[in-house]
Structure 1
């Protein structure tokens, strides 16, 4: 687990952004932590009326994110967790989610917060979930990244005035 090298950025005002959090349902404890971290970031960044949308699993995140992007959301935060097992299922789901979310970002020119944990075991997921005993808060980090990117995209569309 890295965790090192992350920028130390203070929250910025994002009250004018329309934001959706799309979250998988598998691994309830980890997902509860990721969602709580996302909600903490949304509050810190002053997002006024975010929506949280639940989908069955991580594989379903891209299609829900695409639907949100098509509805005009400025940022979509995708939260999920996939824990390696004894079959190739892990690789298929991780690749589909990653490729799908990247495609949504590029096709819709929308900020996507990538909060999908791809872990070898449950402890790694718990360490990143933003829970009391966690070492990292990937829900917060993914949300902050999406919000900052959405603000950059707004500036670019205005002619990048700064």
Structure 2
């Protein structure tokens, strides 16, 4: 079951971090929920993110890379791809996932993975953090990026970090 085994991490002060949320525009209701969740997580961590909108999930990696190059400490990538009757789903999911991973590794900048890859609209809505949703993947992606940025900062600064 998705969501089982998630860590019970408390928000930490990340007010010194520069954070970007890059959000796709397709599937408005789902994206609104994901974006609201990411904003709540950032607020819980004392951060006001810069929110950048892109047309679709395929465009997430290029803007995430621009953010990494511009000096953001953490990036949250939000999107949703719903399976259809063509291989388009596989190509977009693979390209976006590989591209976001490459940004994180190449730039040593955490990228919160809030890209929903779902078989149908019901699965996407159930993960969007909306009223009645079982999961809040926008919140989870932002919280993970922020916690990871704290760890990266501690490695770079050679200072201890406490996440719990």
By the TM > 0.5 criterion, same fold? Answer: yes
Q: Does 1:93 align with 2:82?
A: no
Q: Does 1:17 align with 2:17?
A: yes
Cα deviation per residue 1:115-154 (whole Å; 9 max; x = unaligned)?
0000000000000000001000000000000000000000
Task: Report the Cα distance in structure 2 between the residues aligned to 1:160 and 1:122, rounded to whole angstroms.
Answer: 44
Deviant stretches of 4+, over 3 Å: none
Query: Counterparts in 2 of 1:58-73, with a 5 A limit?
Result: 58-73=57-72
Alignment partner of 1:6: what SS? coil
Structure 1: gaps of 5 or more residues = none
Task: Report the Cα distance in structure 2 between the residues aligned to 1:153 and 1:54, rounded to whole angstroms.
Answer: 26
Alignment partner of 1:10: what SS? coil
CA RMSD of aligned residues (A): 0.8
Alignment partner of 2:79: what SS? strand
Task: Report the Cα distance in structure 2 between the residues aligned to 1:50 and 1:160, rounded to whole angstroms.
Answer: 24
Give the structure 2 partner of residue 34 of structure 1.
Answer: 34
- Please give the TM-score of this superposition, normalised by the length of structure 1: 0.97
Cα deviation per residue 1:52-80 (whole Å; 9 max; x = unaligned)?
00000000000000000000000000000
Shift of 1:158: 1.2
Cα deviation per residue 1:32-57 (whole Å; 9 max; x = unaligned)?
0000000000000101x310000000
- Please give the TM-score of this superposition, normalised by the length of structure 2: 0.96
Give the structure 2 partner of residue 125 of structure 1.
Answer: 124
Structure 2: gaps of 5 or more residues = none
| Paired residue total | 161
Give the structure 1 partner of residue 8 of structure 2.
Answer: 8
Task: Report the Cα distance in structure 2 between the residues aligned to 1:65 and 1:27, rounded to whole angstroms.
Answer: 20
Shift of 1:109: 0.5
Shift of 1:160: 4.4
Shift of 1:161: 3.3
